[in-house]
Amino acid sequence: MTNYIIAAYDLKKYFPVGGFLFSSKQTVKAVDGVNIKIKENEVLGLVGETGCGKTTLGKLLIRLIEPTSGEILFNVPEEIIHEYEQALENKDYKKTGKISKQYSLLNKKGSELRKLRRYMNIVFQDPYSSLNPRMLVKDIIAEPMLSTGYASKKEAEDIVFKLLEEVGLTPEFAFRYPHELSGGQRQRVALARGISTLPKFLVLDEPTSALDVSVQAQILNLINEIKRKYSISLLFISHNISVVHYMSDRIAIMYAGRVVEEGDKNSVIFDAKHPYSKALISAIPKPEPLREKIFVNLQGEIPNLINPPKGCRFHPRCPVAFELCGWTADEVLSDLEYIIMQRYAEYFKGIKSISIEDDFTLNILCENSNPFDKRLLEIIEKEKNELKSLVSIKSIKQESQNIRVELYRYIEPSMYKVNGSVYVRCLLYKNNDEKQR
Amino acid sequence: METVLNIKELKVWFYTRRGIFRALNGVNLILRKGEVLGIAGESGSGKSTLGLSIMALLPYNAVIIKGGSIYIKSKNTLETFDLFDESQLRRKFSMRKNRRIMNKISNSLSKLRGKLVSMVFQEPMTSLNPLLQVGYQIAETIVAHNSSYLAKRILSRIKVTNSDLKEVLNLVTSSNNVEDELKRYAKNKGLEGIESQILYILGRKDLSRTRKERAILTLKEKKKNFLTMNYLKRVAENRSLGIYSILDRLPFVKRFFSRILLKEGYRRAVELLSLLNIPHAEKVVYMYPHELSGGMRQRVAIAIAISNNPDIIILDEPTSALDVIVQNQILQLISELKSKFNLSFIFISHDLSVLAEVCDRIAIMYGGRIVEVAPIDKIFYEPLHPYTKGLIKAIPKITKESMTLESIPGTVPDMRNPPSGCMFHPRCPYAMEICRKQIPKSIEYNKDHFVECFLYGEQ
Amino acid sequence: MSKELGLIGRRNYLLKRNPRLDELKISFKIFFSNPTAVAGLVITLLYFIDTFLVQFFPWAIGIHDPNQYIINPYNPVPTPPSPQHPLGTTYGGIDLLDAILKSIRVDVEYTLLIVLSGALIGLVLGLVSGFFGGIMDEILMRITDIFFSIPYLVLAIAIIFVLGRSLDIVALSLIIVWWPLYARYARGQTLSIKQMTFIEAAKAAGTRDFWIMFRHIIPNVLPPIFVQISLDLGVVVGVFSTLTFIGFSPTANIPELGYLTSLGLNFVSIAPWAVIIPGLVITIFALAVNLMGDGLRDVIDPRRRSV
């Protein structure tokens, strides 16, 4: 029975935005309901594009920032995790409360929390600002040991030299300032600092993104060696999927604050299920020139996290989105307007305006009672492939001078188990999951 | 194949407080027409300096050493300048003199910049002016370098008759090769400049068939006043502006004249942006850089770079600041532009995988020299230079079987104190005696495959 | 080999160099490569030396009564520079050289008092405000704003009216006006350092807030504050002597440069040196301190160092 080093449930982090003294209720939903588990000695890779929330998630898991809601359990035996998850499903909050009391990371305070910090740490992306320019290397590396009470000042000094050796630096480096070191050397110091208290869990946030290719290879191999030697679980965050694949056992892909696919690395990379994963992976540059290239082309951009799309966050850009994916009246409105007032305007002379009644209903006002609805249905059939939101139209009924457009109601996708260890957050796989249960 | 760029023995050294930084140490490079040449290298290899040298955008403490030359279309941009000799650097060097030389070189190339060579930088947010609309920035560069083209477009719209346009419509519906036919038609009728406008309308996806036809028919414009017509004709034929050069400077009047060309520049900007797959280009031209996403900004920067059909376009890490999916779109865009318009690109990057996606040939830089240059498949599947081999083994590749990344021992050399002989010898697993003493010369080991290494032949 | 030596031995073996000393050496090198900064330093040092000597060993430079001017009742008319009076004399027959040497000490001491007190108060408030943020930050900043909006002249008049005329009161009113500048500056620096990744790293390491403030923030905030202090010395000496010049000094005969300048004012047409020379002394100090501050700024700026 192995332990789970970290188990997070329905983790959310909303950042308040603007407003005078928080009177405005707008928030950036950076992480919006993430479940994640990492076993002992396991490396979980976290990939995604800018703004998907991966860095925020990494910081949440070691409680560097406080979550808005959700639970994080630390160092839990497998049986207890099963109990906890069962209790969650059965809504047995008494039981979950009991387990939380013992294992939760979030209810620890002050010196208790500080003692726990010796078991987790983080290595940052930018080697140039993650080291205090006015501190000597030896003090930088010793800091976690002293702050968590892991070692006394004298013991710490000794350990510093051993750590320098471990990361491939000679002892003189202990007495240098960060600005005297190169990027690769600084990252080694950051790594030494990260493992100084022999943590069980280390978050690596883009540790090699600022480094040259040859230095990156050295650092990655070093990380692997250290992980093996000291049995550390890693959360490896990067936007470089090739690197993540090299380093991880399991991979999770994030989009707009949610995990959309998670599984063992080869399944996720070579047999991606989620449409976003497919697009992302097809776009990875590979050092194989002149190969046959099949790209999935995506329109649009990463969504605004203050008002993210409803339902599946990816639906506005998804090439295979269908009617239940999350369409709402405002998305359909712009496409209807485009058809009626622009592209096919000549067929719809006499339509005054289109308005939204609620999230799933629109009303089109006409000046006369011409049978626009038939025409509209025809055109919608034609344009469905290009203007995706139209697939969500359930019915078009014309009553004299008013056409009522009704949409299907969307379903919020959760993580569906596809096989063995792969989970996908996509309605296309909902049935698979139901079969499995 | 035609050569558009030929660099010979280029040496550029920087004077810094802590010594002389030898960025480029004898670069030899050729760029052919219609190809994408990749330049790969790590930090300190000199790749960015190379791009800046071609554009003559080096800072004042950069010293171009005598003996090097940069031929852009058989004209040496460094020809007439009294550059410093290597031996002069110790005694006769004066920063003030160097400043003057760099200034002169920069000025002499400034007319060519944008027209002959243009550059796209890594950070689109800082390479675009945040205070100007993106359409203005594109229009401005066309007006500056190619105003006659804009004038021709306006004149063609004035000159064309309704019957001409109807003929065009027939041509468009009936022919197979619309582009060439249109070009020929326009030339015959003396209506140069109208083809791209018609093609743009045809390519629009947001208009129905009938609307497109209507748009083409409404291309005709009324004749403008006498002064303006005269001005336009002079600009179109590149004749001297005569009285207009004075009028052009008077406070109110000048707005009137520069406005016409600028407005036309905006129209052309819309065409360019939709060519680069920016949706709603007519609205985007009035936006400011901060209103656009990273990928869009980079497309704007590319639009500015290609707007005058330059012979050489230099891209310095254009996709390093972008996400994977957007990066892929930009790379595809570059391939499209290359094949459609036969443009020549220099693509500088530290990421070999990115270069693999888009380049025809790759040059590997190390220690300020090009150590290997070859067609793309040869570089990856049959690398010759030990550094190239090491680099390729150090790239993480996605494979089902487990693999280990091999790193190159040591670090990149400090270019203030470079090693003797071959720059790579301290880290090279195959280093021999001679590698320490001499710098290897470039030899063509296989067809079109050049390498600088003593392993491959007598020197 | 390093494994066999004990810790001290290892440190001695490796410490053929002392990193802090090396840093200091580089700082000196950068500073001394700047000729104007060196000139500023030399002149400022001269002033400080004068202050020190007049304060503790006035007889060493021939000053017998450091707290008063010597009035010459026999020849009260200002005379131009001459062998007996190298800088001439001013109103009351006061020898300018003697007077200036005495006045420099008073001015420098008061200026240092004002700037250092203001900096200390402002630094503490700014640090606390920036580090803890929240309501405390808001309140402290509003208070700072209020003090910022007070014109120093009006405040000086008001305080002097209430508390009486003396140089100490003038200094007090300037301290009150000066600390908001440092509060704002220190807060800005604190905020920008708080954003840096190494602060996050310290938090992840479990370091307590208190330690983060002392170990990480203060050492990075102090250097720019020092630069600001040295630049401010010049400004404050100007303001201080302006106030005394227009008459805020006590009627007693206390040596001070502004007051000295005002003494010569009545005779400016016939004895211009009586006004120009003391004025110049103030100006030169302000200039020197400014040049020195600029040089210091070059030393502190990490970008200039690592090129």
Instruction: Report whether CATH 3.30.428.10 matches the domain C97-307.
Output: no
> Nearest CA of chain A to the CA of B399: how many Å?
9
Q: Which helix (H) or strand (E) holds B217?
A: helix B209-217
Beta strands in B407-456 (DSSP E): 443-446, 449-451
Block residue for tokens 């800005």: C188
| Residue A269 with chain B: CB contacts under 8 Å | 398
Please name the amino acid found at residue C166.
S
Q: What is the pLDDT of residue A121?
A: 94
Residue B52 carries which DSSP code? H
CA distance C300 to A358: 61
How many CA atoms, within 13 angstroms, populate the side-chain half-sphere of residue C250? 13
| From A133, A135, A148, residue closest to C206, measured CB to CB | A148
Which residue is closest to B416 within chain C, CA to CA? C307
Nearest CA to CA, how far is B16 from chain C (Å)?
A: 7
Q: Return the closest-CA partner of residue A5 out of A90, A52, A85, A72.
A: A72
Written as one string, the DSSP assignment of chain C is: -TTTS-HHHHHHHHTTS-HHHHHHHHHHHHHHT-HHHHHHHHHHHHHHHHHHHHHH-GGGGT-S-TTS----SS--S-----SSSTT-EEGGGEEHHHHHHHHHHHHHHHHHHHHHHHHHHHHHHHHHHHHH-HHHHHHHHHHHHHHHTS-HHHHHHHHHHHH-S-HHHHHHHHHHHHHHHHHHHHHHHHHHHHTSHHHHHHHHTT--HHHIIIIIIHHHHHHHHHHHHHHHHHHHHHHHHHHIIIIIS-SS----HHHHHHHGGGGTTT-THHHHHHHHHHHHHHHHHHHHHHHHHHHH-HHHH--
Chain B residues close to A346, C-beta within 8 Å: 208, 210
Neighbours of chain C (3+ CB pairs under 8 A): A, B
DSSP A325: S
At residue A48's C-alpha, the angle toward residues A44 and A52, to 5°, is 115
Give me the helix-helix angle, B178-189 and B162-174, nearest 10°: 160
SS3 A128: coil
Place of tokens 């036309």: B264
Cβ contact, residue pair C207, A143, below 8 Å: yes
User: How many C-beta atoms lie closer than 10 Å to residue A415's C-beta?
Assistant: 20
Instruction: Using CA coordinates, name the residue in chain A closest to C217.
Output: A132
How many C-alpha atoms does A342 have within 13 Å on its Cβ side? 10
**What value does the mean pLDDT take over residues B80-87?**
77
Chains with 3 or more CB pairs under 8 A to chain A = B, C
Give the length of chain C. 307
Chain A CB within 8 Å of residue C200 CB: yes
Output helix, strand, coil percentages for chain B, rounded to the nearest 5. 45, 15, 35
Contact A121 C205 (CB under 8 A): yes
Q: Which of residues 136-195 of C touch B (CB under 8 A)?
A: none
Average pLDDT (B16-24) is 83
Q: How confident is the model at residue B125 (pLDDT cuts 50, 70, 90)?
A: confident
How large is the average pLDDT for residues B163-178? 80
| Cβ(A233)–Cβ(A43) below 8 Å | yes
Q: What is the DSSP letter of B113?
A: B
Taking the mean position of all CA atoms in its chain, how far away is CA A300?
19
Whether residues B42 and A50 touch (CB distance < 8 A) is answered with: no
Q: Is A296 on the interface with C (CB under 8 A)?
A: no
B19 interfaces chain C, CB cutoff of 8 Å: no
DSSP letter assigned to residue B444: E
pLDDT in the model for residue C17: 61
Which residues of chain A does B400 touch, with a Cβ-Cβ cutoff of 8 Å?
266, 270
Distance of alpha carbon A118 from alpha carbon A197, whole angstroms: 6
In chain A, which among 335-364 make CB contacts under 8 A with chain B?
A: 338, 342-344, 346
> How distant is the Cα of A306 from the closest Cα of chain B, in angstroms?
16
Give the model's pLDDT for residue C307.
Answer: 38
> Are residues A179 and C302, on separate chains, in Cβ contact within 8 Å?
yes
The minimum CA-CA distance between B416 and chain A, rounded to whole Å, is: 15
Task: Please determine, for residue B114, whether its predicted confidence score (pLDDT) is greater than 80.
Answer: no
Please tell me whether residue A394 adopts helix, strand or coil conformation.
strand
Contact status of A193 with chain C (Cβ, < 8 Å): yes
Q: Provide the 3-class DSSP secondary structure of residue A204.
A: strand
Burial class (CB in 10 A: 0-12, 13-18, 19+), A282: middle
Are B400 and A301 within 8 A, CB to CB? no
**Which residues of chain A are within 8 Å of residue C212 when distances are taken between CB atoms?**
none
Question: Whose CA is closest to B264, among B143, B161, B165, B132?
Answer: B143
Mean pLDDT of B253-281: 86
| Interface touch C204/A117, C-beta < 8 Å | yes
- For residue C7, list chain A residues with Cβ-Cβ distance below 8 A: 154, 157-158
First to last CA, chain C: 35
pLDDT at B73: 82
Residue A260, chain B, CB below 8 Å: the answer is no
What's the pLDDT score for residue B380? 93
Q: CB distance from C6 to chain A under 8 Å?
A: no
Note whether B59 contacts C: Cβ–Cβ < 8 A: no
Asked if B400 lies within 8 A of A293 by C-beta distance, the reply is: no
CA distance C119 to chain B (A): 34
Please give the residue of chain B at the shortest CA–CA distance from C26: B18
In this complex, is the C-beta atom of C14 within 8 Å of any C-beta atom belonging to chain A?
yes
pLDDT at position A33 is 92
Question: DSSP secondary structure string, C207-267?
Answer: --HHHIIIIIIHHHHHHHHHHHHHHHHHHHHHHHHHHIIIIIS-SS----HHHHHHHGGGG
The Cα A21–Cα A191 span in angstroms is 39
DSSP state of B238: T
* pLDDT computed for residue B158 by the predictor: 86
The answer to whether residue C307 neighbours chain B at the CB level (below 8 Å) is yes
As a whole number of Å, the end-to-end CA separation of chain B is: 28
Q: Quick count: other Cβ atoms within 10 Å of Cβ A343?
A: 18
Nearest to C198 among A130, A157, A177 (CB): A130
Task: Examine the pLDDT at B410 and tell me if it is beyond 60.
Answer: yes
**Ordered strands of the B449-451 beta sheet:** B117-120, B312-316, B344-349, B36-40, B361-366, B369-375, B449-451, B443-446
Put simply, the chain B residues between 134 and 163 with a CB less than 8 A from any chain C CB are none
Neighbours of chain B (3+ CB pairs under 8 A): A, C
Both tokens of residue B64? 């171009």
C-alpha to C-alpha distance for C39 and C45, rounded to whole angstroms? 10
Residue in chain A closest to B392 (alpha carbons) equals A287
The residue of chain A with its CA nearest to that of C16 is A172
Residue C305 with chain B: CB contacts under 8 Å: none
**CB-nearest partner of C201 from A130, A134, A174:** A130
What would the two tokens of residue B187 be?
């030339």
Low-confidence ranges of chain A (pLDDT < 70): 1, 19-24, 433-437
d(CA C106, CA C112): 10
Q: Do A147 and C23 touch (CB under 8 A)?
A: no
Q: Can you give the pLDDT at residue C306?
A: 47
Answer yes or no: do A240 and B380 touch at CB < 8 A: no
Percent of chain B clearing pLDDT 90 (strictly above): 35
Q: Tell me the ipTM for this assembly.
A: 0.86
Among chain B residues, the shortest Cα distance to C305 is held by B17
The letter for the amino acid at B429 is P
DSSP A112-127: HHHHHGGGEEEE-S-T
Q: Are A118 and A199 in contact (CB under 8 A)?
A: yes
Q: Is B16 on the interface with C (CB under 8 A)?
A: yes
Rounded to whole angstroms, the Cα distance separating B457 from A10 reads: 65
The residue count for chain A: 437
Contacts of C191 (CB under 8 A, 6+ apart): C130
Q: How many CB pairs under 8 A join B and C?
A: 3
Mean pLDDT by 10 residues, chain C (307 residues): 46 61 78 86 91 84 76 77 80 80 88 93 92 88 88 81 82 88 92 90 88 90 90 89 79 79 81 85 92 86 54
